[in-house]
Amino acid sequence: MCLATAYLNKGGEEPILRDIAHMRFDVDSVEMETLFGEERVILGRVLEVDFSTSKVILEQHRTTEANFNKDEA
């Protein structure tokens, strides 16, 4: 099983989320969920996906970011 790691912008060295098992895309956001159930929404878009290294490169449109927990909904 290959899980993805998300980074902001090309050249970003520090991952923003690891162990991503599922991603959903909306018009202006990317929703990610880890294997452990942690969810994160980035207001932006996917720039690149490298399947050989399991890297997802994101571009954030706004400086705000939303974190969601299923248990709090």
Residues in the chain: 73
Per-residue confidence at 57, pLDDT binned at 50, 70, 90? very high
End-to-end CA distance of the chain: 29
Question: Looking at the whole model, is its pTM more than 0.85?
Answer: no
Residues 39 and 33: their CA atoms lie apart, in Å, by 4
Tokens of 38: 């942690």
In the DSSP assignment, the letter for residue 71 is: G
Which is higher by pLDDT, 21 or 70?
A: 21
Alpha carbon separation from 62 to 29, 30, 44, 47, 59 (Å, rounded)? 10, 12, 7, 15, 9
Per-residue confidence at 38, pLDDT binned at 50, 70, 90? very high
